Structure 1
Amino acid sequence: MKDKKKIFLIIGITVMALIGISAIFSWKKSGNEAPEAEVLPVISESCKNSIVQIQTEQFWGSGFIYRVTDTEIWVLTNRHVVETAETCDVVFAKGFYYEGAVERLYEDHDLALITVERADMDSEDLETVKPIEALASQDELEIGDRLYLYGSAAYPGSHYYGAQLLDVEIEVPEMGDSFLVGMLNEDQEWSLIENGSEKTAKLEDGLSGSPVFEEHGRLVGILAGGNDKTFVAVPVWHITAENGLSED
């Protein structure tokens, strides 16, 4: 059954990719220079196998591999992506997918933990699974720092945005303590980064649960919501300390 699932998934991803490519090339190019050449490969190489897409019968969203234990793969996404489901499909970066259990919905933050049993996975697939490296301390961030949103609106890792940190700690109703991220370019439009260049683009549906990185590819938070100008993210220091997901 796994081989059959992979075949259907490849077909589905191909269709979604074609739709995504069509939309991307219809976006207006910005006049901004691309980010430093060394930043994109660092983030892409260090994070690409950690990005996943979450699919339920009603919704889809983004997510990432937070931890790999002896028995399970821990995946994080937003609570609102999976709160109506008990199980979901977790689509990994290499194109395979497995059923995940919605293990826990957190009340204080828009956060959910999904677990995938290692015993259910093919050994070759399991070898490609990689957890994300998290930022060690909030003190390593400063207002104005460049950040990157790496999401799965069309397929795992399909959308990659540049932004900047506006505020480290704000209180958002129903989301808890968060940090605020805003647009980077002078035209006050979101910067979609593709093939080393930037284009202006809107934030797409399906980005909820996307990881947010700093320039060295370390996780700083998880996208929770936003609008045309800003988005908010649950900081990684709350994910680890307040939600029982510490490495300890």
Structure 2
Amino acid sequence: MENQYNYYNPDDNQFQNNYSQGEPNHQKNPKKITKVIAVIGLAIIFGIVSSGVFLSTSYIGTNILGLNKNSNSDVKATTTAVTKSSSVVTSDVSSIVNDVMPSVVAITNMSVQEVQNFWGQTSQYQSESCGTGIIIAKTDNELLMVTNNHVIADNESLTVTFDDDTSVDADVKGTDSEHDLAVIAVPLDQISSKTMEKIAVATLGDSTALQVGEPAIAIGNAMGYGQSVTTGVISAVNRESTTTDEQTGETEETGVKLIQTDAAINPGNSGGPLVNANGEVIGINSSKLASTTVEGMGYAIPISDVSDIIDNLMNQETKHKVSEEKKGYLGVKGYDVTEESAEKYNMPTGVYVAEIVKGGGAEEAGITKGNVITALNGTTVNSMEELEKELGYYESGKTVSVTIQVPENNGEWTEKTVDVKLGKSSK
């Protein structure tokens, strides 16, 4: 069969027919091959030139004109910002704690408690409680620590344990039950030189400058297990709160505005520091102010609000308990003026003098029936029990200063301080 094929003739610039018997004609045209090679060569040259131009343009734009540098910088800045944000959320407070911990001590209070049985008989047993203290000063012969008054109340003996786990006995310097504050002291000659090198005086901050939401770190001897750390934020400032007596269940105003934090404050944390991000003490923790009905509401006494009270307690004479037979007596009989009674009868809280013992030191000093005793040697007393305990530090024959409130005809009260020479018990 005869087949027909069309081909292009470059010489005539037109298609022509080629007739052949059987298979088509495969004879090559030399001019056609030359032209194809030329086209391919031009394409290769064009590709090389285009690549060179692109690379040159990219180099000039990047390295000379700096066109892509801003884009790269933005990526790095974003990465840095994310990293910084992440570090804030998972912030490491170990360096702050390491700086503060040498100024924190654990306090052990050994006291004697009386228990009444079913038949009305009483028996005594020794009780141990724990708390925390903050080293706030070093004098020529003493190391002074501030804590909560309820931490050291009713003590027969006090022991403080430093950051290096060494322990020494401590004495009471001064107390203020109204603000739940106390200062205790340890003689320097009782502390080894090795321990002295490892302890430090705390840096006090400004609690009046606190901002809600800023970080807060609580340190203390929680549950008596040793020093531990909890973190949170300042939840609120200037909070009003009441304390609850664990034995009687009675509540009373604390007498000072408080810092609220969600950092956990548990029994044993009392008296320990609440510090800011700079490691400065901004508050004195108190588990006594915490409620068992809510979570995330711990309280601390603002350090700036009670600095004058602490200074007063620090400057008092260090007290040492005396034996019962040597104990001095004022020569008065009285009863408590509670917050409720004070408000109802327009009286100051303290000890109402109901009777004066003839020939006693109080009578000689001019204290009369109807006066209200509010302090002994600068230490606030709100009850007859507190007055008796405070007198337990003074021997008979010792002269003490007694602060009294004297009623006036117009219903007002005038404060006076008198010196009383303590007598012996008439028992």
The DSSP-based 3-state class of the residue aligned with 1:177 is: coil
Contact 1:90 1:99 survives alignment (8 Å):
yes
Give the direction of change, closer, same or farther, for the CA distance of 1:245–1:221 in structure 2 (3 Å limit): farther
Q: CA deviation at 1:179?
A: 2.3
Contact 1:64 1:76 survives alignment (8 Å):
yes
Q: Distance in 2 between matches of 1:60 and 1:206?
A: 5
Structure 1: 5+ residue stretches without partners: 1-32, 185-189, 191-202
The DSSP-based 3-state class of the residue aligned with 2:163 is: coil
Q: CA deviation at 1:246?
A: 9.7
Q: CA deviation at 1:79?
A: 0.6
Matched with 1:49 is 102
- Is residue 223 of structure 1 aligned with residue 276 of structure 2? no
Give the direction of change, closer, same or farther, for the CA distance of 1:84–1:139 in structure 2 (3 Å limit): closer
The DSSP-based 3-state class of the residue aligned with 2:99 is: helix
Contact 2:173 2:313 survives alignment (8 Å):
no
Residue among 107, 114, 129 paired with 1:59: 129
The DSSP-based 3-state class of the residue aligned with 1:176 is: coil
- Is residue 146 of structure 1 aligned with residue 215 of structure 2? yes
Structure 2: 5+ residue stretches without partners: 1-87, 111-127, 243-252, 316-427
Contact 1:61 1:81 survives alignment (8 Å):
yes
1:12-67 CA-to-partner distances (Å, cap 9, x unmatched) read xxxxxxxxxxxxxxxxxxxxx86423xx1331221111111100113111112111
TM-score normalised over the length of structure 2: 0.43
The DSSP-based 3-state class of the residue aligned with 2:213 is: coil
- Is residue 180 of structure 1 aligned with residue 259 of structure 2? yes
Give the direction of change, closer, same or farther, for the CA distance of 1:246–1:59 in structure 2 (3 Å limit): closer
- Aligned CA RMSD, in angstroms, stands at 2.4
4+ residue segments displaced more than 4 Å: 245-248
Residue among 299, 310, 313 paired with 1:232: 299
Q: Match for 2:301: what amino acid? A: V
Give the direction of change, closer, same or farther, for the CA distance of 1:139–1:104 in structure 2 (3 Å limit): closer
Give the direction of change, closer, same or farther, for the CA distance of 1:95–1:226 in structure 2 (3 Å limit): same
Matched with 1:162 is 231
Q: Percent identity?
A: 23
Q: Distance in 1 between matches of 2:108 and 2:240?
A: 29
1:71-116 CA-to-partner distances (Å, cap 9, x unmatched) read 1111111111111015300010101011000221113311111100
Contact 1:64 1:210 survives alignment (8 Å):
yes
Residue among 303, 308, 315 paired with 1:241: 308
Q: Distance in 1 between matches of 2:278 and 2:129?
A: 31
What pairs with 1:193-232 in structure 2 (closer than 5 Å)? 203-224=265-286, 225-227=289-291, 228-232=295-299
Higher RCO, Cα 8 Å, sep 6+: 1
Rg comparison, structure with higher value: 2
Contact 1:163 1:181 survives alignment (8 Å):
no
Q: Distance in 2 between matches of 1:245 and 1:150?
A: 25
Structure having the larger proportion of residues in helix: 2
TM-score normalised over the length of structure 1: 0.71
Q: Distance in 2 between matches of 1:110 and 1:214?
A: 22
Q: Distance in 1 between matches of 2:160 and 2:297?
A: 27
Q: Distance in 2 between matches of 1:56 and 1:107?
A: 17
Residue among 114, 119, 128 paired with 2:189: 119
Q: Distance in 1 between matches of 2:147 and 2:314?
A: 18
